[in-house]
Chain A
Amino acid sequence: GNSVTQMEGPVTLSEEAFLTINCTYTATGYPSLFWYVQYPGEGLQLLLKATKADDKGSNKGFEATYRKETTSFHLEKGSVQVSDSAVYFCALSVSSGTYKYIFGTGTRLKVLA
């Protein structure tokens, strides 16, 4: 079946530190991959996406590369800020006549000033 596995949190970093949040997936066919972010009290927002192998999604300094050979989509940012503190969800969607999303369990990031 289809599934997403994320590294467990919480992840606590100092401001300007390098961030990596690991995400691996299992899917039939050719999924699209996503990172969503959820700030406190808000709904999920799309952070970035990649729709095919070797694509790199990027937004707000965050990047993730669709690696088919390792079935991974790790999220990275070179220098985190306090405002990046949130919960990050890795997700995939597969199309079999419909677009069904499978979400990971989320990784909480806390950035300290």
Chain B
Amino acid sequence: EAGVVQSPRYKIIEKKQPVAFWCNPISGHNTLYWYLQNLGQGPELLIRYENEEAVDDSQLPKDRFSAERLKGVDSTLKIQPAELGDSAVYLCASSSGTTHNEQFFGPGTRLTVL
């Protein structure tokens, strides 16, 4: 069974440019999470989806960040415009209704904003 897929793995952009990250969760997992991981820190939740509904986006900086999961499967996280402080690893994770206690993580996208 394929794990959580994320792309791109690495992205380097100039500040003020837009950037998008894509995530495909494990097949059948209805819950999808986007996390931000700064260097030397643990992951911090940005947004959580149950199917196509964003049920927890309280930590998402909505002035520049947006996310969507239109068909309740894969998801896109966007930053527009990017700032220097957005340089971090963006992790996607998924879980199923029967294994809410275990999240499966993708390899992450490392973003560098110059």
Cβ of B105 under 8 Å from chain A: yes
Q: A103 contacts which of B43, B104, B108 (Cβ < 8 Å)? A: B43
Count of A interface residues, CB-CB < 8 Å: 24
Cβ of B98 under 8 Å from chain A: no
The interface of chain A, by Cβ under 8 A from chain B, is 4, 32, 34, 36, 41-46, 49, 51, 89, 91, 93, 95, 98-101, 103-106
Given contacts A32-B101, A99-B101, A103-B42, 12 further A-B contacts (CB under 8 A): A34-B101, A43-B93, A43-B106, A43-B108, A44-B105, A46-B102, A51-B101, A100-B56, A104-B42, A105-B41, A106-B40, A106-B42
Please, could you name 14 A-B residue pairs with CB atoms under 8 Å apart, sorted by A? A34-B101, A34-B102, A41-B107, A42-B107, A43-B4, A43-B93, A43-B106, A45-B105, A46-B104, A49-B101, A89-B42, A93-B101, A104-B42, A106-B41
